[in-house]
Structure 1
C-alpha cells in the first residue's frame, strides 16, 4: 500500500472535513432519496449550479413517492437547463421501481441498489456510505485525482479499468466507522483543495501523506488521455408562428439525445446544396406539410455536447394562411412555458424574440 499511514490519513482528512465542510442543502439530513437526487444532479454539474435546482426539485417532489407519481413532463421541466436529461429519466424510473419492488425504501445493499436504473458504482457508493453508513467507496474523477496524487498512481484515469484499481485501494483505506464522512471528505477535498489545476497544497490537511507533493509532481497527476474532438454539425431552426401568434413545436423521440424534450422544428443542413434558409423551407414542407415564409437570419447559436457541436442558424418563420402543419403541437406563448426545452432551443427562442 504505497507507504500510506492509513489511520493518520483518515483522521486528518475527516477532522478537516468536519471543521471546514461547506453548508450544502443535501447535507442537512441523511435521507437516502435526497442523497440520491443530489448525487445524480452533481454528475457533470457544478455544486453552485446544482443548489437551486436541488431545492426546487425536492420542494416539488419531496419524497420518492411524489417523484414516482409525477408526470414526466413536470419532472423534465424541473430539470430544464441541467442537461444530460437521461439522468433524470433514469432516476424517475428507478424511483418507481423502489416504490413498487422495495416498498418505497431505497435498498441498502450493494447488490440490490446496483440493479436500479442509472445507479452506477459511484452513485451506489455515495448513497450507501452517506445515507446508510455502509463502507462502500464512491470513486469518480474527483476522487481518482485526489488518490492518484496521494499515492502517486500513474495509470490513465480516462480508462474504465483504472477505476477498479482505485476502488480496490479505497476498500482498504475507507473508514469503517465513518464511511459517510470519509467519502464526503474526499469529494470535498477534490472540490476545494486538490483541484484539477493548481491545487492548494499549502492548505491541504493531508499534505504530509501526499507522495505527489513530496515528489513535486502534483500538477502532472492524474494522467488522463484526451478525448476525441466533438464533431461539428451544421443546422437550421425555425421559430414558426401563425397569424394568430401561436407557436408550433415538436417533441423529440423518446430515446437518444435530449429524449422527450420539446424543440422548434430544425434540420441538419448540407453545405453544398441550397442555402440553409431554402433547405429549412423545404424540410418544413416535406416533414410537417408546413408552408412558411422565412424572415432574414436572426443569428447563429453554438451548442457543445461531449461528442457533437451544433452550429444552428436561427430563423423566425410565419405560417402561410391555409397551411395546417402535421405532427407539430400548436401552443400559445403562455402554454409553451409548461414544456421543457433544451438550453439550445431556449436560446433560439430568445434570439428571435430579441429580433422583433
Structure 2
C-alpha cells in the first residue's frame, strides 16, 4: 500500500496510490479527446494553446489555434509580427483579454532575443517569460518537456474534491496533486487528470457513461454527494467591458486614429458624449487599454499604440 503523507483523512489511508495512478493512465490512453495541442511537443504551440485556453471554451480555442498558427507558425514569426496585428487577431476571434495577446507577443520576443529562439525548459525559467505564471509554466514544461509539476486547474480541483475528499483549499489541492504526480510522467499524468475532470467529472458527472476509473475510491460516488468547489462564474462576454475593449482595438485597427466622438458610436450604438455611455465611459476603456500598452489617446483622439 502506497500512501500520501498528510492527506485529508478520507483521502489517504485506504487508497492504493500506485493502483490509482495505473487505472487513470490506462483509462486515458485507451480513449481521450483529440486536440491539436495534444499532438505536439513544440513548446511554442503549447504556449499558444495554454494562453488561448484561459477562460475560453475549447471549441472556440481549437479554431483560433489553427488560424493563429497559419499566420504565425513559429516563435520567430510571432516575435517579428506587428503587435497590433496579434492583438487584432485576438479581438477578431473573441479570445478574451487583449493583454494576453500582448504578453504572448512579448514572450515570443524574449525567447528569440534572450534564448536564441530555444524555449527554456523548467517551470522556473518559463516563468521569466511575460504573462507566464506558475500554472502556464507547469503546463508548458509538462506537455512540451515532460518535466513539469502538477497542473491544477478547475477540472483537477473538482476531481480531487469529489474523488479524494480534498478540502476546498488551493494549498490542499496543490499538495495532493503534487503528491499524486508520478515522477517523470508529468505529460501523460496532467493530461489524464484534466481529461478525467473534463469528461467524467464535469459539472454534471458522467461516472458510468465515461467509465470513470476512480469509482472504486471516489468519495462522491460512494456517498452520492457530487457538490464541487466554489468556482467564480465567468461573466457573460456579450455586453461586457472586455467585449467593448476588444471593439475599441478592432475599430482603431480598421479605421486608424479617430476622434473620441467618432470612435464612441462605433463601440456602442447608444453612445452620447454626455450620456451614461459617453466620453467618461469611453475614456475609462481607453485608460485600461493604455495601461496595457495597446492604445494612446488624449482629450480629442484615440489611436493604436505605436
State TM-score, norm by structure 1. 0.64
Q: 5+ unaligned residues in a row in structure 1: which ranges?
A: 156-161, 240-245, 253-262, 270-274, 289-324, 330-338, 340-356
Let me know the Cα RMSD of the aligned residues. 3.6
Residue matched to 1:59: 70
For 1:327 and 1:97, how far apart are their aligned partners in 2? Answer: 32
Identify unmatched segments of 5+ residues in structure 2: 1-6, 248-253, 284-298
Distance verdict in 2 for CA 1:267–1:107, change over 3 Å: same
SS of the residue corresponding to residue 195 of structure 1 reads coil
1:327 is matched with 301
Relative to structure 1, the CA distance from residue 328 to residue 276 in structure 2 (aligned partners, 3 Å threshold; closer, same or farther) is closer
- 1:77 paired with 2:95, answer no
Correspondent of 1:201 among 203, 207, 220: 207
CA contact (8 A) 2:104 2:130 kept: yes
Q: Deviations over 1:176-214 (max 9, x none)?
A: 242101101111111122102x21112212211212212
Aligned to 1:279: 274
Deviations 1:68-122 (Å, cap 9, x if unpaired)? 1100111112222211211111111112111111111111112211222211121
TM-score normalized with structure 2 length: 0.73
Matched, 1:190 2:203: no
Q: Assess, with a 3 A threshold, how the Cα gap between structure 1 residues 113 and 149 changes in structure 2: closer, same or farther.
A: same
In 2: Cα distance, 1:189 partner to 1:61 partner? 32
**CA distance 1:114–1:328, shift in 2 (3 Å):** closer
- The reply on whether 1:210 has 2:211 as its aligned counterpart is no
Match of 1:201, SS state, is coil
Alignment of 1:37 with 2:48, yes or no, is yes
- Tell me the matched-pair count: 257
TM-superposed deviation, 1:132: 0.5
Higher strand share: 1
CA gap 1:233/1:78 in 2 versus in 1, 3 angstroms: closer
Higher helix share: 2
CA shift in 2, pair 1:99/1:221, >3 Å: same
2:154 touches 2:231 (CA, 8 Å); kept in 1? no
